[in-house]
Amino acid sequence: MIGAHPLVEDLNPEQKAAVTIAGGPVMVVAGAGSGKTRVLTHRIAYLIREMGVRPGAVLAITFTNKAAREMRERVGGLLGSTVNDMWVSTFHSACARILRREAHAFGYRSNFSIYDRSDSVRLIRQCLNDLGLDASRRSPRGLLNKISEAKNGLVDYETFLDRTEGPVEVAEVYRLYQQRLLQMSAMDFDDLLMVTVELFGAVPEVLERYQGIFGHVLVDEYQDTNQAQYLLVRDLAKRHRSLFVVGDSDQSIYAFRGADYRNFDRFDEDFPEARRVILNRNYRSTSTILDAANEVISANQRADPKDLWCDQHDGEQIIVHRGSGAVREARFVSNRVRQLLTEGYNPGDMAVFYRTNAQSRAFEEALRRSKAPYQVVGAAAFYQRREVKDVVAYLQVVANPDDGVALRRIINTPRRGIGRTSLGHLERFVSAEEVSLREGLERADEIPGISTRARRGVQQLAEVLASIKAHLESDGVGRATESAIFDTGLAEMATAEGGIEAEGRSDNLAELSRVAYEFDSTLEDDLASLEQLGRFLEGASLVSDPDNLDEGAGAVALMTVHSAKGLEFPVVFVVGMQDGLFPHERSLSDPDQLEEERRLFYVAITRSMERLHLSWDDTRMVGGYPYPQVPSRFLREIPEQLVEHVGGPEHPRSAKGTARGSSAGRHHAPAGGDRSFRRIVRQSGVEVGDRVRHATLGVGRVLTISGHGARASASIFFPGLKAKRELMLSAVEKLDGFGPGAASRSG
């Protein structure tokens, strides 16, 4: 302790310089693993402790909710106390919170719904229908992309129309779409940002208020901000000028959804007095990995030249594996995992990255067979599953009765006799009378042509909604969710058909209910029940894939490269390194997109601390026929001396770790006590005859197993029930020992 401040003790001189700058705008630009996030965290602590800033005056933006939680914790750790009134969140969450209070100025109600992509697509489809346009000719998704792009650049539909040269269809859809959103009091993801910026522009008092509240604005992962996000922080900071951003343009990987590296230039223009700090020392990776990363990124025209260095030893060479077929590629990974486990690594030290979600299957299967615990981060997001969305739609309608997209979704789900024609009548009525869908339903009796049966259905719907609302008001969100699951008939619908899949659906609903009850218990605010529900739904809409990673699970993490941004692992596998997959074929023709793919690869390899593996598959099976594959051009960009090649025709037995290692069996630690909806496939390594436990059915014995991977199911005999049941394997937990001790542990 050199008399230096404890806060900056564990920082190098450059980092320290950034953290302790007296005031004014600061931009930290630095390569991967140079401690940008650490600097930002220390900066917050420094502001609060050394500069006397109130925590409530801090707005810190992170890329994911999970990163926000961690940052809040770390700041608390540095300060030695918890800091609650500091705002640490993603752009979208922060905007949602602001808009709940302020959006009434634009005619939205504070209970507005937040639409995810599929909700938006549904609404676009409706708009197309109402405009008499053919939804099959113009893809709703494509339209949504255009509209989203416009919104990210803060182009409203009038401006959009002005700029349109050819057919005005897109502009018309945009106009109607936006009009409907407002009528329904709903916002899509882009609205959260755009409306906030517009509000700040249109109502000076509101902007001034938030400028006053957030005296200090900090942004992590600045390279992936879009224009709306930039304007937001610029507006907030333009008076007090306490804006602190950190980023690395070589890690910009979200241009496809509007991220704009020119925000670095805009910052320079708008904050010319800014101090710029460069960090060059990498603390994360071995020099072998770092050299490879530097080489790769230097192939980009638009690379940001850096002198990243580290004083770590060379470390192990990068292993490049060639395999034939997805199965063998996956087996290489699982064998390596097993070998590294015997070398002392823990499952949680390792991660597998792929370019597309669809690639995860083979690796799940291989890890399952090798009895290594793993978790799939993200994929097939929980809240996007049909059965879950149905329940959420009921809650959305309770929270915001004008939410037409949610209402339309549940109107005849489960079936209650309101069919195509009744819906048609209703729709015509609603558009003729220019009323909301809700009002149309309330006045169903006035609509000619609607059958008695359908009327009864409408009645039923109203009753069930009332019931959910009553439960909400008396007992909270958890009970309301339960009501939306059981009183609606969605529970029966979930169990109805498809034996095995039905179990999975029911499990998802049970999980949703659990999450809702947990939400109740963690809510400290004394909010009105409808506002509580709003918060719950908001949280549900804004979760991201990486939020579901559980570092404590002791499981190999499988995720897309995008999800891996900002993380680090001692051992990394980047799989599917073929031209056409990574870089993706849809990026090959456009040089800018290709460079983004290369940045993505740069992000992937810079996640690894010690051991990096890159694998490619020389024959992909498509429809039962082998298609030859070409190794990724990115592999050639890594200097040969850093690489060890394994596998391939010359090495028919894939290089390492093929030895049968029975010791690996010891490593499976079931990830118990999960507290969110993350989809952990408990790596039970369950076999016929094993004893397993199900959350509600108790302990049973496995009779048969069928299916693979996440879909594996088992027939299990439960002595307590004196019956056997077909269950998803992921729904049970293997009981390790045979003694009663094993059965007494519970989650």
Ligand X SMILES: Nc1ncnc2c1ncn2[C@@H]1O[C@H](COP(=O)(O)OP(=O)(O)OP(=O)(O)O)[C@@H](O)[C@H]1O
Interface ranges with DNA (CB under 7 A): 64, 90-92, 116-118, 122, 125, 135-136, 139, 141, 148, 189-190, 254, 256-257, 355-358, 378, 386, 412, 415-422, 449, 451, 453-454, 542, 544-546, 560, 562-563, 584, 586-587, 593
Q: Which is nearer to ligand X, 284 or 505 (CB)?
A: 284
Q: Does residue number 501 form part of the binding site for ligand X (CB under 6 A)?
A: no
Contact 105, 204 (CB under 8 A): no
Q: Which is nearer to DNA, 418 or 609 (CB)?
A: 418
Cβ 32 to ligand X shortest distance, Å: 3
Kindly state the number of chain residues that form the binding site for ligand X, as judged by CB under 6 A. 19
Q: Which is nearer to DNA, 122 or 656 (CB)?
A: 122
Residue 280 tokens read as: 């060059």
User: HSE of 617 in the Cβ direction (CA atoms, 13 Å)?
Assistant: 25
Cβ 21 to DNA shortest distance, Å: 29
Cα R_g (the chain), whole angstroms: 27
Q: Give the position of tokens 């950190």.
A: 246
Which of DNA, ligand X, none does residue 34 bind (CB under 5 to 8 Å by kind)? ligand X
Which of ligand X, DNA, none does residue 298 bind (CB under 5 to 8 Å by kind)? none
Which of ligand X, DNA, none does residue 422 bind (CB under 5 to 8 Å by kind)? DNA
Give me the catalytic one of 14, 16, 37, 90. Answer: 37
The number of beta carbons lying within 10 Å of the beta carbon of residue 95 is 26
Q: Give the position of tokens 């509101």.
A: 206
Contact 314, 287 (CB under 8 A): yes
SS3 of 298-345: the string is HCCCCCCCCCCECCCCCCCCEEEEEECCHHHHHHHHHHHHHHHHHCCC
Burial 230-253 (b: 16+ CB within 10 A, else e): bbbbbbbbeebebbbbbbbbbbbb
**Annotated catalytic, 221?**
yes
Measured in whole angstroms, the distance separating CA 575 from the mean position of its chain's CA atoms is 20
Cβ 326 to DNA shortest distance, Å: 13
Cβ 225 to DNA shortest distance, Å: 11
Give me the catalytic one of 191, 221, 349, 538. Answer: 221
Q: Which is nearer to ligand X, 64 or 606 (CB)?
A: 606
Q: Does residue number 33 form part of the binding site for ligand X (CB under 6 A)?
A: yes
User: Residues 594, 596, 602, 605: is their CA dihedral positive or negative?
Assistant: negative
The secondary element (H helix, E strand) that includes residue 265 is helix 263-270
- State the pairing for strand pair 713-718/698-706: antiparallel
Contact 293, 322 (CB under 8 A): no
| Residues in region 267-286 near ligand X by CB under 6 A | 283-284
| Residues in region 251-270 near ligand X by CB under 6 A | 251
Which of ligand X, DNA, none does residue 261 bind (CB under 5 to 8 Å by kind)? none
- Cross-strand bridge partners of residue 188: 115
Cβ 31 to ligand X shortest distance, Å: 7
Give me the catalytic one of 102, 190, 220, 365. Answer: 220
Max CA-CA distance within the chain?
85
Q: Does residue number 347 form part of the binding site for ligand X (CB under 6 A)?
A: no
Q: Does residue number 612 form part of the binding site for ligand X (CB under 6 A)?
A: no
Give me the catalytic one of 225, 251, 413, 560. Answer: 251
Give me the catalytic one of 16, 36, 336, 416. Answer: 36
Cβ 299 to DNA shortest distance, Å: 18
Cβ 469 to DNA shortest distance, Å: 25
Q: Does residue number 10 form part of the binding site for ligand X (CB under 6 A)?
A: yes
Rounded (10°) CA dihedral 720, 724, 726, 730:
40
Cβ 39 to DNA shortest distance, Å: 23
3-state secondary structure of 693: strand
Contact 479, 513 (CB under 8 A): no
Which of ligand X, DNA, none does residue 37 bind (CB under 5 to 8 Å by kind)? ligand X
Q: Which is nearer to ligand X, 606 or 615 (CB)?
A: 606
Which of ligand X, DNA, none does residue 355 bind (CB under 5 to 8 Å by kind)? DNA
Cβ 92 to DNA shortest distance, Å: 4
Q: Does residue number 348 form part of the binding site for ligand X (CB under 6 A)?
A: no
Which of DNA, ligand X, none does residue 544 bind (CB under 5 to 8 Å by kind)? DNA
**Annotated catalytic, 36?**
yes
430 vs 447: CA distance, rounded Å: 10
149 vs 122: CA distance, rounded Å: 18
Q: Which stretch binds ligand X (CB under 6 A): 25-33, 134-142, 706-714, 731-739?
A: 25-33
Q: What angle do CA 651, 653, 654 make, to 5 degrees?
A: 80
Contact 353, 559 (CB under 8 A): yes
Among 34, 227, 532, 615, binds ligand X (CB under 6 A): 34
Q: Which residue has the CB atom at the shortest distance from ligand X?
A: 35
**Annotated catalytic, 610?**
no
Cβ 6 to DNA shortest distance, Å: 34
Tell me which residue of 90, 41, 52 sits closest to 542, measured CA to CA.
90
463, 482, 492, 627 from 411: Cα distances, Å: 12, 19, 17, 46
Q: Could you give phi then psi for residue 647, rounded to 5 degrees?
A: 75, -165
Which of DNA, ligand X, none does residue 91 bind (CB under 5 to 8 Å by kind)? DNA
Q: Does residue number 566 form part of the binding site for ligand X (CB under 6 A)?
A: yes
Q: Does residue number 11 form part of the binding site for ligand X (CB under 6 A)?
A: yes
63 vs 65: CA distance, rounded Å: 7
Query: DSSP code of 640?
Result: G
Which of DNA, ligand X, none does residue 606 bind (CB under 5 to 8 Å by kind)? ligand X
547 vs 662: CA distance, rounded Å: 34
Q: Does residue number 248 form part of the binding site for ligand X (CB under 6 A)?
A: yes
3-state secondary structure of 450: coil
CA distance from start to end of the chain? 44
Which of DNA, ligand X, none does residue 35 bind (CB under 5 to 8 Å by kind)? ligand X
Q: Does residue number 486 form part of the binding site for ligand X (CB under 6 A)?
A: no
Active site residues: 36-37, 220-221, 251, 607
Interface residue list for ligand X (CB under 6 A): 10-12, 15, 30, 32-38, 248, 251, 283-284, 566, 568, 606
